[in-house]
Amino acid sequence: MKQILMVGAGSVGGFFGARLAKQNPDVSFLLRPNTLAAVKQNGLTIRSADGTFTVKPHAASDARQLPRPDLIVLGVKAYDLDEVLSQIEPVLTEKTVILTLQNGIDTEDRLLARIQRDCVVGGVAYIYSKIAEPGVIEHYKKGALSIGELMGYESERLLAIRDLFASAGVPCHLSKDIRRSKWEKMCWNCVFNPITVLIDDHVAKALDHPEMTGVIRQIVGEVAAIAATLKVPLPPDMAERVVKASQEIRDIHTSMYDDWKAGRPTEIDYLNGYIVEQGRKLGIPTPVNEALTAMIKTITEKEQTGLGRVRIEGAVVQPISFDRAIIAALPEEHHVDVSTVMLGMKGRGVRLKGLLNVPALAIEADHVAFHASDGKYSACLTLDQAREHGVLVYELDGAPLPDTKGGPFRLITPGLGDLCANVKGVERIEITKGPGRDTRQTTCPPGS
C-alpha cells in the first residue's frame, strides 16, 4: 500500500493522518475548503504532550486532484459518510481498501452496500483530541487503533495497514472480532457522549454520583440487547467494564460535548438513535436510549429559522419561533375563518391576541412591528391594536398560504379603518417599547 488518502483532518483523522504523514510522503488529505485553506497556508499541526509538530501534506478538496489511493482512511463523522462516498467514488479502483474510524455500528455495512465489493476494513479509534482551529489538532490522551477484517481473519491487507501505523508510532491492535470491538465502544459512547452534554460537564461528574450507576446499567443493557439480537453477544458485566475503562479518562469531555460546544452537529443518530431505531425494528424496548436521543436533539439542535417560520423577538423575555403546525396547535378559540373577515379568501388565521400570549413580553412593552421577509416593508401597531384587530393568516383551502397570497404568513387587521396594516410574507414580529419601524402611508395601502 503506497498511496494513502486521509479523508478529513478533524480530531481523529487529523491526528492519525498527521502521524502517518510525518513519516510518509505518500499520504495526502481530502479536506473541506476552509480546512484546506488553513492546511495549505500553515500545514497540519498536532499539539500534544508527546510533542508538537507540523506536516505539510498534499491536500485538495477534489479527490481527483490527488494521487489515486491504495488505502483510504475515513476520519470524518458518520453523518458525512454519504457525501464523502460521492467524493471518493471517482478514484476507487478494484484494489482500493477503505479503513473506517467512525463512531457507531453501521459504517461498514453502508459502505459495502454502496460499493458492492469486499474493500472494507473495520477500525476503532481510542483517542481524546479536539479541533483547536482548522488545521490545528490538540491531542490530550491515548491515540491507538484497533482494526480487523469483518470476517475475523488476518489478511495481507490487514497486516499491511497495521505495519503502516506501527511505523508511524501509532499502536495498532489486530482484532479478531472487530464488530464486537465496535459494539463495546458503542456501549461507552452511548453512555458518556450524551451524559456529558446533559450534565454539561466531564466524565468524572457522572462517575462520582452513585445514582448514575443504575442509569449506566440501563443504557448498556439496552445496547447489549440489540447487539445480542444482531448476533454480537457482549459480556454480562459490560456496564461494569464501561465504568472501569472510564476511570483513567475521568477528566475528559466527549466528542459529542465538544461538537455541541463548537456548534457542530452531533452523532446522536448514529449512537443512541441507532439503538432506538434497531429496537423498533426488532421489537426490543429502549426507553432510556430513546429519552437520551430526544433530550440531546432538543439541547443541541439549533432553533430553525427562515422560510416557513415566524419569530417573535425584541422586548420579550425569550425569543420564540413558530411554524404553521405550531400555530395551528394553539387553542381553537384563537383561530379565525378568514372568509369572515376578508372577502374572497377561504382559509385560517390566528388572532394576534392568542399568538402574543405565548412569549412573556418585557415590562413596558407597548408596540409590535411586523416585518416582511424581504426587509422592505413593516407595519407597527400598538399592542392593544394588534390584540384587538390583528390576524395572522397561515392557511388557504387547507394548505399553507402560498407566496402569491402573501404567505407563508400574512398580517391583516380587519376593523382598524384607516390605520389598517397589511403585510405579506411576515417573517419577524418585533415587540418594542415605543413605536417601531413602519413603512406604511398615512392611509391604508392596498397591500405591501
The helix (H) or strand (E) run that includes residue 259 is helix 255-261
Strand partners, 308: none
- Sketch out the chain's domains with CATH numbers: 1-176 (3.40.50.720), 178-302 (1.10.1040.10), 309-432 (3.90.420.10)
Phi, psi of 248 (to 5 degrees): -85, 0
CB neighbour class for 34 (10 Å; exposed up to 12, middle 13-18, buried from 19): exposed
3-state secondary structure of 150: coil
Residue 239 confidence (pLDDT): 95
pLDDT tens by residue, the chain, 448 residues? 899 999 999 999 999 999 999 989 999 999 999 999 999 999 999 999 889 999 999 999 999 999 999 999 999 999 999 999 999 999 999 999 999 999 999 999 999 999 999 999 999 999 999 999 999 999 999 999 999 999 999 999 999 999 999 999 999 999 999 999 999 999 999 999 999 999 999 999 999 999 999 999 999 999 999 999 999 999 999 999 999 999 988 998 999 999 999 999 999 999 999 999 999 999 999 999 999 999 999 999 876 666 789 999 999 999 999 999 999 999 999 999 988 877 777 889 999 999 999 999 999 999 999 999 998 999 999 999 999 999 999 998 889 999 988 999 999 998 887 778 899 999 999 999 999 999 986 544 444 4
pLDDT in tens, 103-136: 999 999 999 999 999 999 999 999 999 999 999 9
Please choose, from the candidates 219, 190, 186, the residue with its C-alpha nearest in 3D space to the C-alpha of residue 296. Answer: 190
Residue 446 confidence (pLDDT): 44
Question: Helix, strand, coil: what percent of the chain each, to 5?
Answer: 40, 25, 35
**Contact residues for 242 (Cβ-Cβ < 8 A; gap 6+):** 187, 188, 191, 216, 220
Q: Are 63 and 35 in contact (CB under 8 A)?
A: no
Distance between CA 310 and CA 31 in Å, rounded? 36
Strand pairing category for 53-55 and 58-60: unpaired
Q: Are 384 and 419 in contact (CB under 8 A)?
A: no
Q: Are 439 and 378 in contact (CB under 8 A)?
A: yes
